[in-house]
């Protein structure tokens, strides 16, 4: 691992526990007797009970608030998976997919089963069927394994990364730590500016979650931003470089075929995927088929060596309501289905990416077609935004679509921040984006009847009804904001056990009246019945 | 109209046009030849075109930015409807419902048809069928008529009102002006603290939108907050007082029957509607049926005199995911169906209120049952929130449910602000709540294929693709925030025509590449076809 001066100036990230919470580890025995320390966040409640919740935050929340002595970004975090014993390759593939198909259980499968609270056989069989993926590059031992598939908790990805206009390596590492603190299950480093390699190295060595990239961004930097100058060789070497570093999944826009490009000519917003636009420009300039498509087998061979997961990019996704579910988008999806089959033959894990901008009545159709045409590969969508008219609030326009598409079986949601379409998200935007998408994902898990999903809702609502304000904050997705909002009008500590808040005041609190009522109802059995 | 000293200190509200917009009036001829000046906001675009959008903001956006000389809150705003000629009462009822049933077109019907861009016969027939309401108290001539019904644009209500803990008359009037500036179609004054009468008077005399209330809040103030001390006479007099002032619709929790109360005993969060809790407490204390239910005919007679619309309250709505769609909620809804029939017999317009907290998979069922059991009365819901675990973000948890329930035919959405469950919303919260709900309502209109809904999306997306940044801001639901977010990283004026933003930087803007591509595609006709 090489470190640059840029990273040496970046020793501080956000550390310390989340409000009222303590990091715990569940000790689970791996297939070779390993002690797999599965993380969990234990929220302590004032009534003496606690609630354990899924924890993506890595070691950072185990540190003291002032964590500068405990974590040095130039050293990297704990290499969790380095000591685990992995099975022999199967037919040349040392991938979770190949092992799962062979009926072999890996430490990663045991780990994610414990995290999800399910049987390991469900994990193995879903991975074997290609309905779930465990993105875990052999070279990213720092990651705590997680699973992406519709049978499991809906996951959230946070995009970070600098652009040439703004941001630094230090800021990007902090964004990764910050995003995972609030619940991001994976992080994509979409850097396009300076220091791409160094930024990614710093992120990977310190990341407890899988890291995704779009290799064509770095490849394009290598040819000084001229799409026509791209070659298969430059792209391939970039992919290998990133595989060696430990990237866990890669977006590859191999479904943008030369024949698809004219289908976008009547669109309101053309091609809005950067990778899609780059490949379309290349195809037109060279009057050739996409080198990502023609060299897809070689890509499979490379990714297989590291167990890097494909995230087949939707380079022709709609960028406006007008363009949703159009011929260009669906033609590409057909091609992604074909490529899914190819990758699977190599034993490479595959996800399929989806839109974008889609009106509500067309949302579920996207998940249905993706599952049908891509043989149930995990679907991974950006939003979708359900209207175009609210720049500045696209975390909300897209949370609506994200919740609906997750209910329809989408396995992972890529967040959208309030800055979408307007600028590079800062630290606050990253948090708002993550929390918003945790809401969408959780709402979908409730709707799908996912086992155990409702426990947190019930615990919070019970705390609310019993005026345990501290517990209501602690159980919230964002305890700090919940408390700050409450304290704006009633900052004094006695208000934390008061049977009202400033919304209705003491006399008009329905919950207070209702509580009194509950007591009186219990003491006065009613003989009344309902028709 | 009487004015208090509290109001005299409140001469300033937010005035001035919204970015790049000008208030226009469409001149439409009323049934008696009246000149009905129908407001519209004209958004001017840099390409020389413009887009007209529905305008709820009243005279305030027609004033200069410094509008203090032009609008005096103690005088009130223009009494738009005072000069209109109304038909004779029909069978004792001078209501839009009675007139519509008689086949008579009112100035209000012509006005709303122009606003909605539809035929007046659609308005008349929907009102006649009870599928839509036009809340327009004879005593609120300042209001610009609007229609609430599933065949029309989905509407948004903003709640304002002080509580005993905080806020003043002046602040509440400004909240009304502020909420309608950003698109609130109606405003409910839910004040429970001091100066209830005076606050409402100031709001009504200055409001361009219908005002709703929950009369039991003021009735309870009159008995010093003791639910048991309430009587039918006190409630009735309060209703008359509010009818006389000009309140356009009233939430009446007449569906909370004595027999329903025990059904809530097993709930996680009991009764969370203030009105519901008050009436349940009254029924239990007196061991009698709700006076709202037993005196419902008299209520109908009162409301009919003014053409005040019933909003039949859901006093037993669920306050948590665990309590959604339970027996208590559904028993009350059955009663609301019965009361809808009674009100209609009197010629009184009726809406029916809905939840609350509901997981996504149970959302549509709420709209279906409300329409079925309440004879297609317009459904008016609070959210619903699709999870309980995100206090501080309940505008978002509820926007998901609101968009879905509106898609299922809900006619008006009551906003939820970020302060829900935590405190009284301030000015910023009101704006975020309104914009969030405009998103939900518009997303639903797109999904329902509402005529013309997509024009604004298309205009904004076209501006975005053509890098007309000023137009993208101007067409946004919140132009100020969109521009501020953009300008955080690229504040200079040249960036307003730049073919990139800080999100991806100049080299990686997909829209830029795609635009170039579009030009080259056009100049190089492709002979390629797709399989």
| B454: nearest CB among A322, A426, A461 | A322
Smallest Cα distance from A179 to chain B, Å: 17
Regarding an ipTM greater than 0.85, the answer is yes
DSSP-derived 3-state class of residue A28: strand
Decide if B334 is inside a domain.
yes
- Distance, in Å, from the CA atom of B264 to the CA atom of A331, rounded to the nearest integer, reads 53
The mean per-residue pLDDT over the stretch B365-380 comes to 98
Structure token pair of residue A461: 């609502």
pLDDT greater than 70 at residue A70 = no
Q: What is the pLDDT of residue B71?
A: 64
Based on the fold, state whether residues B176 and B293 are members of the same structural domain.
Answer: yes
- pLDDT tens digits, residue range A211-260? 999 999 999 999 999 999 999 999 999 999 999 999 999 999 999 999 99
Annotate A352-380 with b (16+ C-beta within 10 A) or e (fewer): bbbbbbbbbbbbbebbebbbebbbbbbbb
- Distance, in Å, from the CA atom of A287 to the CA atom of A282, rounded to the nearest integer, reads 8
Final residue in a domain of this structure, among A111, A128, A145: A128
Q: Concatenated DSSP letters for B188-200?
A: EE---SS-HHHHH
Smallest Cα distance from A105 to chain B, Å: 35
Q: Concatenated DSSP letters for B396-442?
A: HHHHHHHHHHHHTT--EEE---TTTTTS---HHHHHHHHHHHHHHHH
- pLDDT tens digits, residue range A434-469? 999 999 999 999 999 999 999 999 999 999 999 999
Based on the fold, state whether residues A209 and A272 are members of the same structural domain.
Answer: yes
Based on the fold, state whether residues B237 and B386 are members of the same structural domain.
Answer: yes
pLDDT greater than 90 at residue B98 = yes
- pLDDT tens digits, residue range B313-323? 999 999 999 99
The mean per-residue pLDDT over the stretch B452-472 comes to 96
User: By the 8 A CB rule, do A141 and A112 touch?
Assistant: no
Q: What are phi and psi of A327, to 5 degrees?
A: -60, -40
CB contact under 8 A, B436 and A502: no
CB contact under 8 A, B165 and A489: yes
- Distance, in Å, from the CA atom of B191 to the CA atom of A507, rounded to the nearest integer, reads 12
Residue A68 banded pLDDT, cuts 50, 70, 90 = low
Question: For a pLDDT cut of 70, what percent of chain B falls above it?
Answer: 91
Q: Cβ contacts (< 8 Å) between B424 and chain A: which residues? A: 489, 502-503
Decide if A17 is inside a domain.
yes
Residue B162 banded pLDDT, cuts 50, 70, 90 = confident
pLDDT greater than 70 at residue B329 = yes
- Distance, in Å, from the CA atom of B318 to the CA atom of B383, rounded to the nearest integer, reads 12
Residue in the block written with tokens 């297989």? A304
* Residue A77 DSSP label: S
Candidates B391, B379, B449; CA nearest to B416 is B391
Q: Cβ contacts (< 8 Å) between B518 and chain A: which residues? A: 265, 270
| B419: nearest CB among A220, A261, A485 | A485
Task: Provide the annotated binding site of A for Zn(2+).
Answer: 357, 421
DSSP-derived 3-state class of residue B288: coil
Based on the fold, state whether residues A486 and A372 are members of the same structural domain.
Answer: no
* Residue B495 DSSP label: G
- pLDDT tens digits, residue range B207-220? 999 999 999 999 99
User: By the 8 A CB rule, do A112 and A123 touch?
Assistant: yes
- Distance, in Å, from the CA atom of A276 to the CA atom of A38, rounded to the nearest integer, reads 38
- The 10 Å Cβ neighbour count of residue A445 is 23
Q: What is the pLDDT of residue A500?
A: 73
Based on the fold, state whether residues A74 and A182 are members of the same structural domain.
Answer: no
Structure token pair of residue A100: 């799962």
Please name the residue of chain B whose CA is at the shortest distance from the CA of residue A396: B396
Alpha-carbon separation of residue A493 from A129, A332, A448, A497, B425 (angstroms) = 54, 58, 39, 8, 21
Least confident interval from A157-171, A375-389, B290-304, B470-484: A157-171
The mean per-residue pLDDT over the stretch A41-53 comes to 97
DSSP-derived 3-state class of residue B483: helix
CB contact under 8 A, A476 and B389: yes
Residue of B510, B522, B523 for testing the chain A interface, max A β-carbons within 10 Å? B510
Based on the fold, state whether residues A327 and A388 are members of the same structural domain.
Answer: yes
Q: Cβ contacts (< 8 Å) between B218 and chain A: which residues? A: none
Residue B148 banded pLDDT, cuts 50, 70, 90 = very high
Smallest Cα distance from A252 to chain B, Å: 16
User: By the 8 A CB rule, do A115 and A127 touch?
Assistant: no
- pLDDT tens digits, residue range A84-101? 999 999 999 999 999 999
Q: Cβ contacts (< 8 Å) between A403 and chain B: which residues? A: 360, 386, 400
Based on the fold, state whether residues B338 and B437 are members of the same structural domain.
Answer: yes
**Bigger pLDDT: B191 vs B2:** B191
Q: What is the pLDDT of residue B328?
A: 98
| A457: nearest CB among B225, B387, B515 | B387
The mean per-residue pLDDT over the stretch B480-486 comes to 96
Q: Which run of H or E residues covers position B351?
A: strand B350-354
Terminal Cα distance for chain B, rounded: 73
Question: For a pLDDT cut of 90, what percent of chain B falls above it?
Answer: 81
User: By the 8 A CB rule, do B175 and B160 touch?
Assistant: yes
Question: For a pLDDT cut of 70, what percent of chain A falls above it?
Answer: 92
Based on the fold, state whether residues B17 and B57 are members of the same structural domain.
Answer: yes
- Distance, in Å, from the CA atom of B145 to the CA atom of B152, rounded to the nearest integer, reads 13
Based on the fold, state whether residues A168 and A279 are members of the same structural domain.
Answer: yes
What angle (nearest 5°) sits at the alpha carbon of residue A322, between those of residues A320 and A326?
A: 100
Residue B526 banded pLDDT, cuts 50, 70, 90 = very low
pLDDT greater than 50 at residue B133 = yes
Q: Cβ contacts (< 8 Å) between A446 and chain B: which residues? A: 321, 359-361, 386-387
| A515: nearest CB among B193, B270, B397 | B270
- Distance, in Å, from the CA atom of B401 to the CA atom of B362, rounded to the nearest integer, reads 10
- pLDDT tens digits, residue range A374-390? 999 999 999 999 999 99
Decide if B530 is inside a domain.
no
Based on the fold, state whether residues B208 and B69 are members of the same structural domain.
Answer: no
Q: What is the pLDDT of residue A67?
A: 52
Bridge-based pairing of strands A350-354 and A50-54 is unpaired
CB contact under 8 A, A443 and B506: no
Decide if A70 is inside a domain.
yes
Structure token pair of residue B355: 């939840």
Decide if A438 is inside a domain.
yes
Q: Average pLDDT, whole number, for chain A? A: 91
CB contact under 8 A, A388 and B457: yes
| A396: nearest CB among B263, B396, B460 | B396
Smallest Cα distance from A203 to chain B, Å: 19
The mean per-residue pLDDT over the stretch A295-313 comes to 98
Smallest Cα distance from A332 to chain B, Å: 10
Q: What is the pLDDT of residue B492?
A: 83
**Which residues are within 8 A (CB) of B424 and not within 5 positions of it... i.e. 6 or more apart?**
A489, A502, A503, B162, B163, B165, B166, B167
DSSP-derived 3-state class of residue A382: strand
- pLDDT tens digits, residue range A387-423? 999 999 999 999 999 999 999 999 999 999 999 999 9
pLDDT greater than 70 at residue B69 = no
Q: Cβ contacts (< 8 Å) between A443 and chain B: which residues? A: 359-360, 386-387, 397, 400
Q: What is the pLDDT of residue A6?
A: 34
Q: Concatenated DSSP letters for A463-500?
A: HHHTT-HHHHHHHSSSHHHHHHHHHHH--SGGGGS-S-
| A270: nearest CB among B274, B390, B511 | B511
Q: Cβ contacts (< 8 Å) between B490 and chain A: which residues? A: 165, 423
Please name the residue of chain B whose CA is at the shortest distance from the CA of residue A399: B400
Decide if A141 is inside a domain.
no
- Distance, in Å, from the CA atom of A338 to the CA atom of A393, rounded to the nearest integer, reads 36
Residue B328's beta-bridge partner residues?
none
pLDDT greater than 60 at residue A310 = yes
Structure token pair of residue B78: 């223009």
CB contact under 8 A, A397 and B443: yes
Task: Provide the annotated binding site of B for substrate.
Answer: 159, 188, 217, 253, 273-275, 314-317, 353, 380
Q: Cβ contacts (< 8 Å) between A475 and chain B: which residues? A: 389
Final residue in a domain of this structure, among A89, A113, A128: A128
Candidates B77, B97, B96; CA nearest to B86 is B96
CB contact under 8 A, B163 and A407: no
Whole domain around residue B483: which residue ranges?
457-523
Residue in the block written with tokens 């420009």? A281
Beta strands in A305-399 (DSSP E): 309-312, 350-354, 379-382
Q: What is the pLDDT of residue A531?
A: 27
CA B233 vs. chain centroid, Å, equals 30
| B269: nearest CB among A220, A476, A511 | A511
| B262: nearest CB among A260, A447, A521 | A521
- pLDDT tens digits, residue range B503-524? 666 666 777 777 777 656 544 4
Decide if B404 is inside a domain.
yes
pLDDT greater than 50 at residue B531 = no
Candidates B257, B250, B375, B220; CA nearest to B312 is B250
Based on the fold, state whether residues A313 and A417 are members of the same structural domain.
Answer: yes
- pLDDT tens digits, residue range A490-518? 888 888 877 776 766 666 677 777 777 76
Number of domains in chain A: 3
Q: Cβ contacts (< 8 Å) between A331 and chain B: which residues? A: 530
Residue B66 banded pLDDT, cuts 50, 70, 90 = low
Residue in the block written with tokens 């975390």? A395
Tell whether pTM > 0.80: yes
Decide if B104 is inside a domain.
yes
Candidates A434, A448, A450; CA nearest to A157 is A434
Q: Cβ contacts (< 8 Å) between B166 and chain A: which residues? A: 489, 502
pLDDT greater than 60 at residue B257 = yes
Based on the fold, state whether residues B414 and B462 are members of the same structural domain.
Answer: no
Q: Cβ contacts (< 8 Å) between A508 and chain B: which residues? A: 163-164, 192, 217, 220, 225, 274
Q: Cβ contacts (< 8 Å) between B443 and chain A: which residues? A: 359-360, 386-387, 397, 400
Biggest CA-to-CA distance, chain A: 84
Phi-psi region of B139 (alpha: psi -120 to 50; beta: other; left: phi over 0): alpha
Q: What is the pLDDT of residue B503?
A: 66
CB contact under 8 A, A280 and B517: yes
- pLDDT tens digits, residue range A185-197? 999 999 887 789 9
Structure token pair of residue A512: 């207070």
Please name the residue of chain A whose CA is at the shortest distance from the CA of residue B257: A530
Task: Provide the annotated binding site of A for substrate.
Answer: 159, 188, 217, 253, 273-275, 314-317, 353, 380
Smallest Cα distance from B520 to chain A, Å: 8
Final residue in a domain of this structure, among B448, B468, B490: B448
pLDDT greater than 50 at residue B290 = yes
- Distance, in Å, from the CA atom of A354 to the CA atom of A172, rounded to the nearest integer, reads 25
Q: What is the CATH number of the domain that holds B392?
A: 3.20.20.540
| A458: nearest CB among B268, B270, B522 | B268
CB contact under 8 A, A391 and B473: yes
Q: What is the pLDDT of residue B72?
A: 73
**Bigger pLDDT: B173 vs B531:** B173
Alpha helix ranges (H) inside B182-295 = 196-206, 215-222, 232-245, 274-286, 291-294
Q: Which run of H or E residues covers position B22?
A: strand B21-29
Alpha-carbon separation of residue B178 from A245, B373, B483 (angstroms) = 53, 36, 19
pLDDT greater than 60 at residue A317 = yes
* Residue B497 DSSP label: S
Least confident interval from A107-116, A325-334, B154-163: B154-163
Smallest Cα distance from A447 to chain B, Å: 5
Q: What is the pLDDT of residue B70?
A: 58
User: By the 8 A CB rule, do B308 and B247 touch?
Assistant: yes
| A502: nearest CB among B163, B270, B481 | B163
pLDDT greater than 80 at residue B500 = no
Please name the residue of chain B whose CA is at the shortest distance from the CA of residue A273: B510
Candidates B318, B385, B315, B376; CA nearest to B351 is B376
Annotate B341-374 with b (16+ C-beta within 10 A) or e (fewer): ebbbebbbbbbbbbbbbbbbbbbbebbebbbebb
């Amino acid at each position: 691992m090489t470190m640059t001066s840029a990273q040496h100036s970046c020793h501080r990230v956000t550390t310390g526990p989340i409000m009222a919470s303590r990091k715990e580890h569940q000790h689970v025995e791996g297939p070779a007797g390993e002690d797999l320390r599965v993380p969990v966040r234990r929220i302590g409640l004032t009534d003496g009970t606690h609630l354990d919740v899924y924890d993506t935050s890595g070691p950072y929340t185990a540190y003291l608030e002032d964590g500068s002595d405990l974590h040095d970004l130039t050293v990297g975090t704990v290499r969790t998976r380095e000591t685990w014993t992995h099975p022999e390759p199967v037919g040349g593939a040392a991938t979770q997919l190949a092992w799962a198909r062979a009926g072999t259980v890996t430490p990663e499968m045991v780990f994610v089963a414990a995290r999800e609270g399910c049987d390991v056989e469900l994990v193995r069989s879903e991975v074997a069927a290609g309905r779930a993926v465990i993105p875990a590059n052999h070279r990213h031992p720092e990651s705590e394994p997680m699973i992406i598939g519709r049978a499991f908790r809906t996951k959230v990805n946070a995009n970070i990364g600098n652009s040439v206009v703004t941001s630094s390596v230090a800021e990007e590492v902090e964004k990764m730590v910050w995003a995972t603190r609030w619940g991001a299950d994976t992080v994509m480093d979409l850097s396009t500016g300076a220091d791409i390699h160094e930024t990614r190295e710093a992120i990977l060595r310190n990341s407890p979650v899988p890291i995704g990239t779009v290799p064509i961004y770095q490849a394009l930097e290598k040819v000084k931003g001229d799409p026509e100058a791209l070659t298969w060789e430059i792209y391939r070497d970039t992919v290998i470089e990133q595989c060696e570093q430990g990237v866990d999944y890669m977006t590859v826009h191999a479904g943008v075929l030369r024949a698809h490009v004219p289908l976008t000519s009547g669109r309101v917003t053309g091609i809005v995927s950067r990778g899609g636009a780059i490949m379309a420009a290349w195809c037109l300039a060279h009057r050739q088929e996409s080198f990502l498509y023609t060299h897809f087998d070689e890509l499979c061979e490379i990714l297989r060596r590291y167990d890097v997961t494909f995230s087949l990019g939707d380079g022709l996704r709609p960028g406006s309501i007008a363009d949703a579910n159009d011929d260009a988008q669906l033609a590409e999806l057909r091609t992604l289905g074909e490529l899914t089959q190819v990758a699977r033959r190599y034993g490479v894990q595959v996800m399929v990416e989806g839109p974008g901008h889609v009106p509500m009545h067309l949302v579920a159709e996207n998940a249905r077609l993706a599952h049908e045409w891509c043989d149930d590969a995990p679907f991974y969508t950006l939003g979708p935004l359900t209207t175009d008219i609210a720049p500045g609030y696209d975390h909300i326009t897209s949370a609506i679509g994200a919740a609906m598409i997750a209910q329809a079986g989408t396995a992972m949601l890529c967040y959208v921040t309030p800055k979408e379409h307007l600028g590079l998200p800062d630290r606050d935007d990253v948090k708002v984006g993550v929390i918003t998408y945790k809401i969408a994902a959780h709402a979908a898990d409730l709707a799908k009847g996912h086992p155990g999903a409702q426990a947190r809702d019930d615990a919070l609502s019970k705390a609310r009804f019993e005026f345990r304000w501290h517990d209501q904050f602690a159980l919230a997705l964002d305890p700090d904001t919940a408390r700050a909002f409450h304290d704006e009008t009633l900052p004094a500590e006695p208000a934390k056990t008061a049977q009202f808040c400033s919304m209705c005041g003491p006399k008009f609190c329905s919950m207070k009246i209702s509580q009194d009522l509950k007591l009186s109802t219990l003491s006065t059995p009613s003989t009344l019945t309902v028709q």
